[in-house]
Each structure stands twice: as structure tokens, then as C-alpha cells.
A and B are shown apart, each in its own frame.
Chain A
């Protein structure tokens, strides 16, 4: 059988022209203040955004960050004409387990940049016994994986799951592996486990994703669902726009770096561990590298198309069940910690950890804690006698 999957090393190298054009746009940014009191009341705080744009224009150096990112071993695979950019870093220990790490929106493969060396097992003066081979793709429609292909070819959760399965098996030659993910990455991880039970031996999630539960919920579960809905009515407009008229919005975001920055910052701020100390969670350099990734690849439109696809054809139904072991690392400032019973309706929960700090981007904000929990889960899945299998919280107290 002819192989239709190939891969090549990749280095980020944004053209000078694109960066010059960005600079011109930043210099002519037209700011406006909509509300008298400002702050984060009506979206991104004008004072913060002013500072961020000035920093982007005057101090931020993309080349420096590009250089740092290029320390990661990156590749671009071609799978039946579909392109996937990914980081592939080997574990350093005696035994390594392959783990596929999946980001969501509006982050990128950068979500895992701090967790990667920890999972590889590198420490100052020693290497863990069991480590991870780390694969971090840019999802279809995102970053250097690039815009979607054919005009009507919007990536769905299922099609992305199939593509990434081929990446892991055909391109990288892993027969069995784990998948970790948050946000859209959580849904993709679940879909991979459901579609490829022989290959996916465990999934580790920072949220339970979204299932249509119908009307079978208990009071406690209903309370959680209602809380999520309330949150949506207060802060979910971004998703409503993405699901219905993404192209009306994308025209502005693809043309205005300040607009793109504001749209993305607004989400990071809402979902960070402590919005009052936003810059302790995310420095301006970190925010801007993530934003610049979207800018230089012109992928904001294709990155939000996933919402449209989900709205039209939900990927996870109420009867979908993940049979492989599932680890949940739930960060307190993510949207809401669900009742365990609700998670267990669709997931074979092996490990349940309520993390001490962190928000929606827990793997980014709390890489140590995230990597430790993920590694405990990897051990639990690959070594069923491990004490750490049962309960992340209990295990931590015991340690």
C-alpha cells in the first residue's frame, strides 16, 4: 500500500514583509473608549490594551521568540494532502510513553511549551525513569498547520481526530499512545478514544468537554449545567458569534492586529487564574507570541470555524462513552468544576484531581502541576498496580 503520509522538519521563519506590514498597522492603530469607567467591564480593558499595543509596537521582538520556539523540534506532515504542523520531542528516560497534547481556542501549541520539557523528564540533575514522547500539533485551521484547505472543508472534531490518529500511527509509528487535551482538545481526545479504542490507551483532560445530556440529569448535575449556561449568558458572546456568523467578525480580526489582540486577550483574561493579577499568569510577551501566531498565519477565521461545525453537527452525543481510562485535572478557575457523576456519564474516570490553582489554560499557567498530574496518570494507565491510580487528590495528600 502506497504511503500517503510524509513528514519534514520545520522551522518557523516569518517573512520580513509580514512583520513590516504588522508594524505599519500597529503604528496607525485607532483606539476608542466605549465606556466611561473602562476596566474589564465591557471587554478588554482599554488601559491594558493600550499598553499591550505599545509594547507590541516598541519592544516586543518576534524574531527573538521565533528563535526560542525553534529550539523545539518541529515538523510538518502531509497526510493525504492535509498539512499538520507539530512539535515532536522524545522522552529522555529509560521507558517513554507517547502522549499527544491538544490545545484549544484561542491558544495554540504554545499552551504546552512549559510542560514539554517536564514531560520529557528533564530536570536539573536527573532524568525520570518513565518519561513521555511528546507530540504537540497545531490543530487544523490553527497556526502553522494553516488555514483550512477547500472552501467548504471545515474541520470537525471527528475529522481532526482521524487526522491526528494517522499522524500518530502512520507518520510517527506509534501503535498505542495517550492523548491529553483541554477546550477543543478535550473533545478531540474523547473522539479519538471513541473512534480508535485499540490505539488510545488513556486520555487526560482538563475539562469534560460538552455533551448534549438531554433531560436525564440529577438536581446537582442540573445546577452545574445551569451555572454553565449562566456563564454563557454573561461571558459567552464570543462563542455565539463563532457559532453563527464567524465571517462577519473575521473580516475585522484578520485586518486589525489590535482587534485580534483584543478578541484573544478578552478570553485569556476571563479564563485566567486570577483576572486581577492577569499579568502574573500571562506576560505581555506570552500573550503577544500567541497573538502574533494567529496574525502571521492569518488563521483567526479558520480557527473559529470549529464552533460553526459544532453548532451545526455536535460531535459528542449523550450516549457516547469513552471506555479507556480517563484522567481529569480540573483547574479551579476554569469555567466550572463539574460534578463527578456528570463526568462519569460519558467518561471512564480513573483519576480525578481538583488542582489547587489555575484557570482554563492550566497547562500553560501551572505547567509543573499539570505535568505532574499527567505523568501520574500515565503511570496509572501503564502500571495498573500504582498507588497513584485512584485519586489524584488523595495521592497528593498522602505524598
Chain B
């Protein structure tokens, strides 16, 4: 009876898509090398040239595709959306209670590939120096408008993803209770799951405090909180252009990025460079293969515009939406145990006091290395934190 609606799925990109891509790459018109040096004004010309060369002469999509397909993937129609997800079951789990199901939600500019490194560390901790009974059944969906997922209606947008995820975990996969983890948009969606489906959620683990809380500042801010709120505003002023354009003009930007592979890769890698703990050198933290496979997931599915929809949804949400969200906030739960893993080079650095305003904070870990993409940058550290956070919550399963 399990996965009645889910069908096994393998990525299999048509040859003509790859031939067309090759033709585009071979005739790429890189912008002239002008302006400030390095990454100062956006993408580094030298990095882009190197990335293009790698893409043209070394990158092997079929090999990457085979590697992605080593993860068990499915597609299921959930609440009218076609959802692509990885579903990997616990291995070598040491008896007793069944393994804890865990749903991991990605954000921007990454994709489901964000979690590839930590999946085995969570399904088979014993193989990675952990405890066998810390194993999880792991579910990693693609957001409904990204990669191999598909949603025509874009019905409730960002604010409805939590309902889809809940239905995926309970109705499609048959789990009664589960844990959830996420960062970036994944953290907002994960918070929504806990709020609106508290009875199904044993705990949530986040790598940031969802940014939208800082849109409304309480009067009684402590000075560390004030610093944080100010820094979020600073970030929006100095670094927020990508979010503005993705929210205001998702179609216009998609018109360009969906027609130029190097343009797409430039837009995405620039965020990885700015938001990771790479000390300016993107190659030091992410291989070019990693960067290109993340871009390819959007290229071959033509879905980069979908990755902008959460920004559009937040920007265009009118009073009715915010009232509905406020009501959900009021009647929803803020009691689900929450764990936070904070990485030093992430976009924002909220103090624990700030998180405690909105969450039942049970664990708060500050790491010494890592940035916005902890699951890719510091997979061992993040996986260990997730396992430890959920260990005491497993009895509530």
C-alpha cells in the first residue's frame, strides 16, 4: 500500500537537449573582460571562462546523471502538483523503533542536489562513524516549480508547499510522524510544516531563522537582536538585488537565463561565491562539476523561472495572504521542538534570543566553518548536528 501514487523516476535527458546545449556552449559570447577585477561587480570573468571550458571539454552530464540516478527517485501527484523526490531508506538500522523519516527542503540558488552529500550520512550513519540507531528514512523533494517537479497551477505558491510536503509524507509515503530540515526557502517551508501540521512533526532543524520574521520588528528588541535586524536590512540594501529582480521580474530574468547556459551558470555561481565560506575562491569549496550539475538541473528542465516564484509570491502577497498567514501563525503551533545550526558565513547571523521569539529552541549550535550551503560545504558537521538534534525526539515518533 506504500507509495500508491509514487512512480519510480530516473533522470534521462534527451540527446537533442544535450546537442543543443553543446551548440550553445560552443558559440557562447562571453561579455568583454571589463570593469572591476574578480567578483567585485558580479561574476568573475576568469571564473566564467574556466567554467565554460570545463563545461565544453571535461564535464560529462551522462556520468553526473548516472550518479544522480544512484539515488532512488520518484514522482507523485500531490495536491495537483507533480512532485519529484529522492526517497532513500535507512540502512543498517539497529532494531527497536523504526527509523525516523526526515524531509529535507532546498532553497535558492541550489536544488535537490544541495543534499546529495548528507543523504548517506543520514540513512547510514554507522558507515560514517555515527550510531546505527540514528538512521533516517530521507525524503528530498524538488520544490514544486523546480527541476523535475512540475506544477501548472501555482495555486498557493510558496505558502502552500508545506501542505504538499505534509501530504507527500503522510498520504503518499504513509509516515505518521516525521522530522524536517531546511535552509533558505527550505527553512520557511519547514517552519510552515511545523506550524500547520504540528501533530505530524517531531521536530524541525534549520540553518537559518526564516528571514520574513525580520519584516516585522517588535518594540522590545534587545541590542543583539537590533544588530541582527539592522544587518538583515543592510543585506537587502547591498546584496538584495537578486531577490528584488527575481520577485519583480521573474519572467524577464527567466527569458535571459533560460536561453543562455553560461548566463544561467553565471547567475547561480555568483550566489554560491558570495554566500559560501570560500574566502573568495569558489573552486576551493565547490567543484566545477558540482556547480554545473546544479545549473544543469535547471537547464535541462527549463525551470529557472520556477526558482524565482517564491520571491514573486512574497513580494506580491497582498493583505488577504498576510492575514491568512497571521491567522495560521496564531492558531498554528510554535511548540514543535526546533534545532538551529548556524554557520558563520551564512547571509544572516541571528542571536538565539531572536529565534526563541518564534520557536521552541531545543538546540543551538554555532559552527566555525561553513556558509549558506552547509549541506554541501560542511556535510559531516551538519549531518552530525541533525542526528544529535533528533536523537531525543525519536521516542515521540
User: Which residues of A does B touch, CB under 8 Å?
Assistant: 21, 24-25, 28-36, 38, 41-46, 49, 147-148, 150-154, 233-238, 240-241, 243-256, 258-263, 266, 298, 300-302, 305, 308
A301 touches B266 (CB 8 A): no
B247 touches A248 (CB 8 A): no
Instruction: State the CA gap A243–B44 with chains docked (Å).
Output: 16
A246 touches B42 (CB 8 A): yes
Q: Does B97 contact A (CB under 8 A)?
A: no
A29 touches B35 (CB 8 A): no
Question: Which residue of B29, B34, B45, B239 is within 8 Å of A302 (Cβ)?
Answer: B34
Question: Which residue of B24, B244, B260, B270 is within 8 Å of A259 (Cβ)?
Answer: B260
B244 touches A258 (CB 8 A): no
Most buried by A among B20, B30, B254: B254
Q: Does B319 contact A (CB under 8 A)?
A: no
B242 touches A245 (CB 8 A): yes
Question: Which residue of A148, A237, A238, A248 is within 8 Å of B270 (Cβ)?
Answer: A248
Interface of A is mostly: helix
Residue numbers in B under 8 Å from A45 (CB-CB): 251
B252 touches A266 (CB 8 A): yes
Instruction: State the CA gap A243–B40 with chains docked (Å).
Output: 11
A252 touches B250 (CB 8 A): no
Chain B positions 248 through 273: 1 when the CB is less than 8 Å from some CB of chain A, otherwise 0: 11111111111110111111001000
Chain A residue nearest to B154 (CB atoms) is A36
Instruction: State the CA gap A298–B31 with chains docked (Å).
Output: 7
- Residue tally, chain B, CB below 8 Å to A: 59
Residue numbers in A under 8 Å from B323 (CB-CB): none
Chain B positions 202 through 216: 1 when the CB is less than 8 Å from some CB of chain A, otherwise 0: 000000000000000
A32 touches B43 (CB 8 A): no
Q: Which of B122-179 contact A (CB under 8 A)?
A: 152-154
Instruction: State the CA gap A308–B28 with chains docked (Å).
Output: 25
Residue numbers in B under 8 Å from A301 (CB-CB): 31-32, 34-35
Question: Which residue of B34, B153, B239 is within 8 Å of A305 (Cβ)?
Answer: B34
B30 touches A152 (CB 8 A): no
Q: Does B306 contact A (CB under 8 A)?
A: yes
A32 touches B305 (CB 8 A): yes
Chain B positions 8 through 28: 1 when the CB is less than 8 Å from some CB of chain A, otherwise 0: 000000000000100110011
Residue numbers in A under 8 Å from B238 (CB-CB): 244
Instruction: State the CA gap A253–B29 with chains docked (Å).
Output: 9
Instruction: State the CA gap A46–B29 with chains docked (Å).
Output: 24
Residue numbers in A under 8 Å from B27 (CB-CB): 21, 24-25
Residue numbers in A under 8 Å from B309 (CB-CB): 34
A34 touches B305 (CB 8 A): yes
Residue numbers in A under 8 Å from B260 (CB-CB): 251-252, 255-256, 259
Residue numbers in A under 8 Å from B249 (CB-CB): 42-43, 237-238, 266
Distance (whole angstroms) from the CB of B307 to the closest CB of chain A:
10
Instruction: State the CA gap A154–B304 with chains docked (Å).
Output: 31
Instruction: State the CA gap A42–B257 with chains docked (Å).
Output: 15
Residue numbers in A under 8 Å from B396 (CB-CB): none
Residue numbers in A under 8 Å from B255 (CB-CB): 31-32, 43-44, 49, 256, 258-259, 261-263
A247 touches B252 (CB 8 A): no
A34 touches B239 (CB 8 A): no
- Given A29-B259, A147-B34, A255-B262, does the pair A247, B240 have CB atoms closer than 8 Å? no
Distance (whole angstroms) from the CB of A75 to the closest CB of chain B:
24
Residue numbers in B under 8 Å from A302 (CB-CB): 32, 34
Chain B residue nearest to A264 (CB atoms) is B252
Residue numbers in B under 8 Å from A244 (CB-CB): 42, 238-239, 241
Instruction: State the CA gap A247–B43 with chains docked (Å).
Output: 5
- Given A237-B241, A244-B241, A305-B35, does the pair A254, B29 have CB atoms closer than 8 Å? yes
Chain A residue nearest to B252 (CB atoms) is A43
22 contacts between A and B (CB under 8 A): A29-B259, A33-B305, A34-B250, A34-B251, A43-B251, A44-B252, A44-B255, A45-B251, A150-B34, A151-B34, A151-B37, A152-B37, A236-B244, A237-B245, A240-B240, A245-B41, A245-B242, A247-B42, A247-B270, A256-B255, A260-B256, A305-B41
A262 touches B248 (CB 8 A): no
- Given A255-B262, A301-B31, does the pair A249, B42 have CB atoms closer than 8 Å? yes
- Given A35-B312, A251-B43, A255-B263, does the pair A245, B241 have CB atoms closer than 8 Å? yes
Q: Which of B254-311 contact A (CB under 8 A)?
A: 254-260, 262-267, 270, 302-306, 308-309
Instruction: State the CA gap A49–B255 with chains docked (Å).
Output: 9
Q: Does B392 contact A (CB under 8 A)?
A: no
Q: Does B95 contact A (CB under 8 A)?
A: no
Question: Which residue of A28, A29, A30, A42 is within 8 Å of B250 (Cβ)?
Answer: A42
Q: Does B318 contact A (CB under 8 A)?
A: no
Chain A residue nearest to B151 (CB atoms) is A36
